[in-house]
């Protein structure tokens, strides 16, 4: 009898230990009682009834990354390419994730493939290659809305890689090469143009400076000649003034004229113009002699 009691107690202890469950952080467990949904266990210690309750599903509440293999898609202009996508999602409702769909990951992969084909089918090749942000945004919105009944929250969708056909790659490389050559030719032409402009500007500036120098030299020369003429005229005027102040009469003036005539005669001129009153020169000389004696 004692052994029976001990055996029953041991069996009870084993059953209690086996039905005590500890749920760790970032996990949730769906509990069924007699085949129907009972509750969802979150973080902590829980006890289930043996033979009545069972854990139907254990789910992770962490954000999960799914990297799907490349999917063949056809663009609006009938170009077939391979696109590789990455989906970041998180389970927000363990009950819906358990009972909402069979094999949620496979369902999410198929849904993302069909959604990607629909989006790319409305875009041409060039738009597909340059509109990754648009594709990511549209896919995230569509997938997030479609997976709500499955208890899944799609946080982000990224187009990982776009692989066009080899013929398209070659054509794109040729186009990029031609574009680089065109830009290089434009840069060379712009450089030559800028160089010619700078040379012309330098020549223009040099000519302007040279003209300014000639102008300044001519002005200085003209000013010097004008100043010399002015000084000569001042000297002549001063001589006339001094003669007048000395009380010289017409005899002195005629004598000065005779001296000037003498200087002219000493030159290389072959012709001389004699004043009309030369016959009066003797009288002029006599007058001057008398003036000197006085």
For the chain, the domain total comes to 4
Asked if 74 and 142 sit in the same domain, the reply is yes
> Considering only 3-7, 49-53, 196-200, 265-269, which range has the smallest mean pLDDT?
265-269
* 197 is a domain residue: yes
- Among 45, 60, 75, which residue terminates a domain? 60
Asked if 72 and 44 sit in the same domain, the reply is no
* 171 is a domain residue: no
CA distance 208 to 199: 14
Asked if 92 and 156 sit in the same domain, the reply is yes
Residue 293: the pLDDT is 46
* 273 is a domain residue: yes
Give residue 227's domain range.
183-247
- Among 14, 35, 60, which residue terminates a domain? 60
Asked if 42 and 20 sit in the same domain, the reply is yes
Residue 71: the pLDDT is 85
Asked if 276 and 237 sit in the same domain, the reply is no
Q: Assign 276 a pLDDT band (cuts: 50, 70, 90).
A: low
Residues 135-177 have pLDDT tens digits of 999 999 999 999 999 999 999 999 888 888 777 777 777 778 8
**Average pLDDT over the chain, rounded to whole?**
80
Asked if 125 and 69 sit in the same domain, the reply is yes
55 versus 272: which is more confidently predicted?
Answer: 55
> Considering only 5-9, 29-33, 208-212, 227-231, which range has the smallest mean pLDDT?
5-9
Asked if 208 and 227 sit in the same domain, the reply is yes
* 169 is a domain residue: no
Residues 99-140 have pLDDT tens digits of 888 888 888 988 998 999 999 888 888 888 888 888 999 999
Asked if 86 and 122 sit in the same domain, the reply is yes
* 235 is a domain residue: yes
* 274 is a domain residue: yes
If phi > 0 it is left, if psi is from -120 to 50 it is alpha, else beta; for residue 26 that is left
- Among 164, 193, 223, which residue terminates a domain? 164
The pTM (predicted TM-score) of the whole model is 0.56
* 176 is a domain residue: no
Residue 99 sits in a domain whose CATH number is 3.30.479.30
Asked if 238 and 259 sit in the same domain, the reply is no
* 124 is a domain residue: yes
> Is the predicted pLDDT of residue 243 greater than 60, yes or no?
yes
Asked if 202 and 233 sit in the same domain, the reply is yes
Asked if 51 and 124 sit in the same domain, the reply is no
Asked if 123 and 138 sit in the same domain, the reply is yes
């Amino acid at each position: 009898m004692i052994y029976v009691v001990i055996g029953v107690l041991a069996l009870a202890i084993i059953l209690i230990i086996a039905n005590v469950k500890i749920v760790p952080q970032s996990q949730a467990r769906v509990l069924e009682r007699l085949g129907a949904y009972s509750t969802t266990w979150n973080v902590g210690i829980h006890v289930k009834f043996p033979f009545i309750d069972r854990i139907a599903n254990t789910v992770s509440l962490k954000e999960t990354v799914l990297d799907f293999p490349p999917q063949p898609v056809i663009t609006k202009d009938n170009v077939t390419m391979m696109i590789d996508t990455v989906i970041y999602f998180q389970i927000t409702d363990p009950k819906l994730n358990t009972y909402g769909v069979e094999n949620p990951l496979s369902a999410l992969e198929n849904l993302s493939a069909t959604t990607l084909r629909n989006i790319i089918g409305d875009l041409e090749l060039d738009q597909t290659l340059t509109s990754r942000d648009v594709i990511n945004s549209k896919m995230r919105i569509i997938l997030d809305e479609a997976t709500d009944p499955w208890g899944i929250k799609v946080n982000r969708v990224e187009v990982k890689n776009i692989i066009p056909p080899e013929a398209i790659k070659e054509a794109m490389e040729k186009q990029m090469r031609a574009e680089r050559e065109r830009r290089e030719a434009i840069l060379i032409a712009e450089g030559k143009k800028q160089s010619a402009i700078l040379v012309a500007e330098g020549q223009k500036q040099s000519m302007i400076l040279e003209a300014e120098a000639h102008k300044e030299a001519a002005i200085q020369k003209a000013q010097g000649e004008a100043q010399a003429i002015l000084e000569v005229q001042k000297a002549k005027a001063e001589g006339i003034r001094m003669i007048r102040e000395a009380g010289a009469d017409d005899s002195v003036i005629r004598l000065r004229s005779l001296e000037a005539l003498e200087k002219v005669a000493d030159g290389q001129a072959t012709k001389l113009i004699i004043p009309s009153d030369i016959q009066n020169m003797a009288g002029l000389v006599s007058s001057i002699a008398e003036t000197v004696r006085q």
